Structure 1
Amino acid sequence: MNSFRFKGLLAGFVLACAFGQGASAAEISGVKLDDSVKVGGKELKLNGFGMRQKFVAKVYVTSLYLPEKSTSLPDIMKMDGPRRVALVLMRDLTSDDFGDAFMNGLNKNLDNKEKARIVTQISKFGEMFALLQVLKKGDVLHLDWIPGVGTQCEFNGKKIGEVVPDIEFYNAILRIWMGEHPVDTHLKTALLSGK
């Protein structure tokens, strides 16, 4: 086989891998992200992704999937259709650490009146974190909004905890990463990049 033909075949193989079914749209720190996922029977597009870092330590990779791309959190919160926030752990965490970080994110982005309206849902989510006990590097958590169902969580592909029916609760979760006081401003920019 001559060199020119081999290079042509190799280029074709690379393109087939890049654009074939199940191809990853992006990769960050070895975590491959799909360019689309199905949630609630609908296809969602990768809106943005980034790394949550605390000082120099990598904590998790976060990605946001939406029915259509957007760079505006208010627009995202009004969207019809399902949505997904996916987290891939980059280090081991206890459920207490993860739960505390979740609560801190809510507290920074919600006023007392907003928290009072979803206090029952927050409590249910706290019970879910207690079920996890330890989160290991490589574990995957999906936080999905499914219209007509509610906020549903999956941990390594298995549904966990109770479904929370209120859209206000899911939008409060989004504000942890994309609200006025996000856990990481660089991560907020990455998730809302719409690229």
Structure 2
Amino acid sequence: MSDTLDPRSEVNGLRRKLLLGAAAATTLGPWVTSAHAGVELEGVTVADTAMVGGKKLVLNGAAVRKRGYFKADVTALYMPEKRTNPDAIFKLDGPRRIQLNILREFTSGTISRIFVADFKQSATDEEFKKLITVVGQIGQAYGNIKSVNRGDVVNLDWVPGTGWTAAINNKPVMIEAGVPLVIKDELAYQIYMRMYLGPSAPDELRNGLLGLTKLHSKDD
């Protein structure tokens, strides 16, 4: 038996692999596309993945968040693994991201006022009192933002060992000149996530972020 491979055999083998791959792609159809396509809401394309703290996160879900009658932003939740239960999300270790794709203008005063009101509603009285200094720091940082406008992207990330950071269009939100906002208290970020996934969050928002609402691929 010769140790030399027959070139024709190699070519035939490669051809068979290519045909099998093509057949598999045809059979899977839209499932192959959706693994990479991202989703679209209100004209905003939300990516399927995000890199946070050097880790690749997956889109858990997305939804349009409203303020009264107005659509405020397209909110997206990125996690190390997909979860459909709020408690499971709160307990899952690792980095995570809440992304806000802004749909209308908000001034700094409005941003601060909304944050404090929502945070207080999502925390117990004891938790709010415990975190009053943290709330003040976040309020101060938000107050330094002149405004956010349609098309802006706000990322609010939690990275174990680093803390909770915020960025607008990839630029860090600052408490003051040269001092970026970094909140190391995990409870503060958990309460922030309750604003979107907790009992006080609107059902439509919560269900979307939990992945319970069907989202359309941008290629649909």
TM-score, normalising length from structure 1? 0.85
Aligned residue among 83, 98, 122 for 2:111: 98
Question: By how many angstroms is 1:171 displaced?
Answer: 0.3
C-alpha distance in 1 between matches for 2:143 and 2:86:
29
2:211 aligned partner:
193
The alignment covers a number of residue pairs equal to 178
Go from structure 1 to structure 2 and tell me whether the alpha carbon gap of 1:24 and 1:117 turns closer, same or farther (over 3 Å shift): farther
Name which of 93, 96, 116 aligns with 1:83. Answer: 96
Q: Which amino acid counterpart does residue 44 of structure 1 have in structure 2?
A: L
Runs (5+) with no aligned partner, structure 2:
1-25, 175-180, 215-220
Q: Conserved in 2, the CA contact under 8 Å of 1:150 and 1:165?
A: yes
Residue of 172, 190, 199 corresponding to 1:180: 199
- Aligned mates of 1:24, 1:127 — CA distance in 2: 38
Contact 2:102 2:150 in 1 (8 A): yes
Using the aligned pairs only, state the percent identity. 32
User: What is the RMSD of the two structures over their aligned residues, measured on CA atoms?
Assistant: 2.0
* Structure 1: runs of 5 or more not aligned: 1-11
Q: Work out whether residues 78 and 98 of structure 2, in 8 Å CA contact, stay in contact via their aligned partners in 1.
A: yes
Q: Does 1:73 align with 2:86?
A: yes
Conserved 8 A contact 1:24-1:32: no
Map of 1:140 onto structure 2? 153
Deviations 1:79-138 (A, max 9, x none): 111000000110111111122111121121111101122111111110111111211111
1:59–1:91 contact (8 Å) kept in structure 2: yes
Name the counterpart of 2:3.
none
The CA distance in 2 between the partners of 1:112 and 1:54, in whole Å, is 24
Alignment correspondent of 2:14? none
Q: Is 1:52–1:58's contact at 8 Å kept on the other side of the alignment?
A: yes
For residues 182 and 193 of structure 2, the distance between their equivalents in structure 1, rounded to whole angstroms, comes to 17
Aligned residues of 2:111 and 2:143 also touching (Cα < 8 A): no
Correspondence for 2:10: none
- 2:49 aligned residue: 36
Which residue, 119, 123, 127 being the options, matches 2:136?
Answer: 123
Contact 2:73 2:100 in 1 (8 A): yes
- State which of 64, 69, 87 in structure 1 corresponds to 2:77: 64
- Is 1:165 equivalent to 2:184 in the alignment? yes
| 3-state SS, counterpart of residue 166 of structure 2 | strand
After superposition, the C-alpha distances for 1:141-168 in whole angstroms (9 at most, x for unaligned) are: 1000001000011111111132000110
Q: Amino acid of the residue matched to residue 49 of structure 1?
A: A
The 3-state SS of whatever aligns with 1:170 is helix
Q: Which moved more, 1:59-68 or 1:108-117?
A: 108-117
Q: Whose Rg is larger?
A: 2
The answer to whether the 8 Å contact 2:115/2:139 transfers is: no
Cα distance in 1 for residues equivalent to 2:192 and 2:125: 15
Higher strand share: 1
Counterpart amino acid of 1:181? S
Whether 1:111 aligns to 2:124 is: yes
